[in-house]
Amino acid sequence: MTTYAEGDAFPDFEMETPDGGTITKSGLAGRKAVIFFYPKDNTPGCTTEAKDFSELKPEFEKAGAVLLGVSKDSAKKHRNFIAKHDLTVDLATDAEVDGLSDRLGVWGEKKNYGRTYMGMIRSTYLLDEQGKILRIWPKVRVKGHAEEVLEAVRTV
C-alpha cells in the first residue's frame, strides 16, 4: 500500500457501477470529483451519508463537482440501496482484491465492541479537474460531513 497525501495524483481505477457499467478516473477528468468511501449499504451511518450527499448533489454540480460513493458491496446491493432510499449519488463497487480502497489504505483493520475485523474506514477525497488530491477527510464523522465537503469544493 502506498500512502497518498494532498497534492498527490489520485491512483487510476476502474470499478463496476450498479447499472453494470464501469467508472474510471479518466472518466472523471475535467471536473472536480468527491469520492467518498463508506462501509456498507443500508446501515444507519452509511444511509445518512449517502442521503446527505444525494440531497446536496445539485449544489455540488453547480460548484463543478461530481460525486461518487464507494464500498465493497455488490452492484446488486447498490441497486437495492439506491431504490430503497431514492439516492441520486453515483455509487461504485470496489470488491476486487487490492482494489482502490486497499491501495488508498481505507480498507483496513477496525475495532468495534472489542472485536477486530477488516472493513472500510469512512474517508473522503476531493480531486481537482486533473485528478490531483486537493483534500482528504480521514475517519469521517457523518453529521455535517456532506456540507463541509461542499464548502471545500466551493472554495478550492
**Grid cell for residue 2:** 502506498
- Would you call 88 exposed, middle or buried from its count of C-beta atoms within 10 A (0-12, 13-18, 19+)? middle
Instruction: Find, among 32, 2, 15, the residue nearest to 130 by Cα.
Output: 32
Q: What residue spans define the domains of the chain?
A: 14-155
Q: What is the DSSP letter of 62?
A: H
Task: Give the per-residue pLDDT at 102.
Answer: 94
**Residue-by-residue DSSP string for 63-122:** TTEEEEEEESS-HHHHHHHHHHHT--SEEEE--STT-HHHHHT-EEEEEETTEEEEEE--
| Topology annotation, domain 14-155 | Glutaredoxin (3.40.30)
Task: Give the per-residue pLDDT at 3.
Answer: 79
Instruction: Give the predicted TM-score (pTM) of the model.
Output: 0.95
Q: Report the alpha-carbon distance of residue 103 to residue 25 in Å, rounded.
A: 14
Task: Give the per-residue pLDDT at 147.
Answer: 98
Task: Give the per-residue pLDDT at 63.
Answer: 97
Task: Give the per-residue pLDDT at 84.
Answer: 98
Task: Give the per-residue pLDDT at 100.
Answer: 96
User: What is the chain's pLDDT, residue by residue, as a tens digit (156 residues)?
Assistant: 567 999 999 999 999 999 999 999 999 999 999 999 999 999 999 999 999 999 999 999 999 999 999 999 999 999 999 999 999 999 999 998 889 999 999 999 898 888 998 999 999 999 999 999 999 999 999 999 999 999 999 999
Instruction: Find, among 66, 82, 62, the residue nearest to 74 by Cα.
Output: 82
- Residues with catalytic function: 46
